[in-house]
Structure 1
């Protein structure tokens, strides 16, 4: 046990003929174990934000843990293995084992893994290179290494009290549809029996977002409401704010406590949650020669400690989803129009 209280493997051994990759399993196991330990510790109540958000969404975890995992892996490598190339690549194996472990233990979902993995790999390589540079100058003591590995916990306990910054994003897209506005309008307000294959090209659905089943507008005492149902029991309302028949529609989003059943979406990126929310969506239908131009506008909120990265991912996913939805309406509306023409 080190002076810091964190158990460390033995000091890296001197170069020898036994430093082939199969004999380095303990190095990668130690790195993966560090990542898993941090992941388990960051769910403790002491690391939850003041609004109840999960500790694993703290910058102290998302940014520092993969960085230190990379540096720790290089520290454990035998000196003969400490090359620049190994510093870049060697941290990837323990990181991938750590991430796979969170999936196997069912403490992380596919969506969060897909979104976090690119930045985790980048930070692990950066940590590996930083560790390589430090080790070229000085060899830290085990107690120093142990203290550094505990930094995410120290920073996390402090960071949890800070308010989450908010970033509002916008997605706009449009396309021409060979169908009259009234056909598209009907589909926007009465899209049923939606099949997974109709949305399968969208990135969000590829990484695990539940597929939509139907979107139907109904009249209620409070006014028109578009009701959504997705796979895995997800359901929510879209109260309509603006309505110009066959020309323009806009709604906001309302999520009930049971709108997203446990396990349907990763808690860290659940729509309507602390870290991500859809604000409003609108469609504008403009008659054009031979059909209609359908334009979509979506506004959404991202609230994390690392909005530069999370916001860029949200921009990519929401923009792609908007285009995928437009293509869905295009296929259905043009099929309806073709059938109408064929019956004449």
Structure 2
């Protein structure tokens, strides 16, 4: 009887200790994450830039799964599917809160899900393994391995990622000559929601679509003002100009409308990603048609650059492709427009 009470006491102490440790660890990293995005801690963590990379996508989800598993099945005697489904419903609840209260967080959660969810499952399995071992042996130390994700914080804070410039490019063939296409690159007013085409980024994730774009001025130094849905606004400052053939710009974000809609941590000008420049290039074809090429380049700096580039190809690729379809449809509907 005494042995059973001792084992139960040790198990309870161990479970409580691990839970408190996990909560403390998550609170610590959320604090640094918040500081990195909004507060004075930005300079402290900018070298490691760990907040939205390995620690946030793997470490915290691992601990999240472990804690939910412990709270929903403290004895570890229910099926694995029980802990998994409970955690999944909690995650959906957080997404719902993010959608209703902090809409910008949804984009981050969708991007993170393919990496985040597997590590939640690993956290669940780890906690169940710990509970099974602990109930048999009553060792408080057996749960210490659950705190290993904290090592990621130290690793990422001490190892700086290698910066990389990434190019996303799309092109389209337009059944209209260059002299019809070029004016549309200078002015595209009153773009309605029906223009463009279906994309995962804009049709499913809800990223805003363009409303209008207009170049103010001419040649290098001109400014292309871009207005998108949900009051998103940014500018494209012309740095290269070849009338009728090409133009290139650097991006400028006079306000926080882009970052506010997406997420402050994956905005267009952060320590993790910075939109560099973009441009159009017109290539006349021998049959009178036009090949229009649109690209965007951005600087990427985090420990999950391969994964980030995949999403960049999807998100930016969808946006660029949609813009090209709008230009194509308008150009083919007005082949007689004069060169501006």
TM over 0.5: yes
Q: In the alignment, which residue of structure 2 is the partner of 1:285?
A: 282
Find the aligned partners of 2:154 and 2:79 in 1 and give their Cα distance: 33
Distance 2:298 2:283 in 1: 24
Q: 2:106 aligns with which of 89, 110, 117?
A: 110
Distance in 2 (CA, whole Å) between partners of 1:143 and 1:108 is: 41
- In structure 1, which of residues 264, 269, 273 is the aligned counterpart of residue 270 of structure 2? 273
Q: Could you tell me how far apart the structure 1 residues matched to 2:27 and 2:230 are?
A: 31
1:61 aligns with 2:77: no
The structural deviation recorded for 1:276 is: 2.4
2:165 pairs with one of 160, 168, 185: 168
Are 1:305 and 2:303 counterparts? yes
Consecutive unaligned residues of structure 2, counting only runs of 5 or more, are 1-11
Kindly state the Cα deviation for residue 113 of structure 1 after the two structures are TM-superposed.
Answer: 2.0
* Closer, same or farther: CA 236–73 of 1 in aligned 2, 3 Å: closer
- Does the aligned pair in 1 maintain the 2:168–2:316 contact within 8 Å? yes
* CA deviation vs aligned residue, 1:174-203 (integer Å, no higher than 9, x gap): 221111111111111111112233246233
Matches within 5 A, 1:1-344: 8=19, 41-45=31-35, 48-50=41-43, 56-75=51-70, 77=73, 78-83=75-80, 91-103=87-99, 106=102, 109-132=105-128, 144=141, 152=149, 155-156=152-153, 159-160=156-157, 162-199=159-196, 201-206=198-203, 207-219=205-217, 223-256=221-254, 258-260=255-257, 263-288=260-285, 289-337=287-335, 340=336
Offset at residue 300 of structure 1 (A): 1.7
* Partner SS, residue 260 of structure 2: coil
Structure 1 unmatched runs, 5+? 10-30
- Conserved 8 A contact 1:167-1:303: yes
CA shift, 1:305, in A, is 3.2
- The one-character-per-residue Cα deviations of 1:214-272 (angstroms, maximum 9, x if unpaired) are 2111227972222222234332221222222212222221223x253773331011122
Given the superposition, is the C-alpha separation of residues 46 and 156 from structure 1 closer, same or farther in structure 2, using an over 3 Å criterion?
Answer: farther
Contact 2:26 2:60 in 1 (8 A): no
Displacement after TM superposition at 1:111 (Å): 1.4
Shift of 1:86: 5.6
SS of the equivalent of 2:322 reads: helix
**Structure 1 residue matching 2:222: 3-state secondary structure:** strand
Pair 1:210–1:158, CA change in 2 (3 A): same
- Partner residue of 1:17? none
Change (3 A) 1:155 1:292: closer
RMSD of the alignment, in Å? 3.9
- Is residue 98–residue 106 contact of structure 2 (8 Å, CA) maintained in 1? no
Q: Alpha-carbon deviation of 1:141? A: 5.9
Tell me how far 1:322 sits from its aligned partner. 1.8
For 2:171 and 2:34, how far apart are their aligned partners in 1?
45
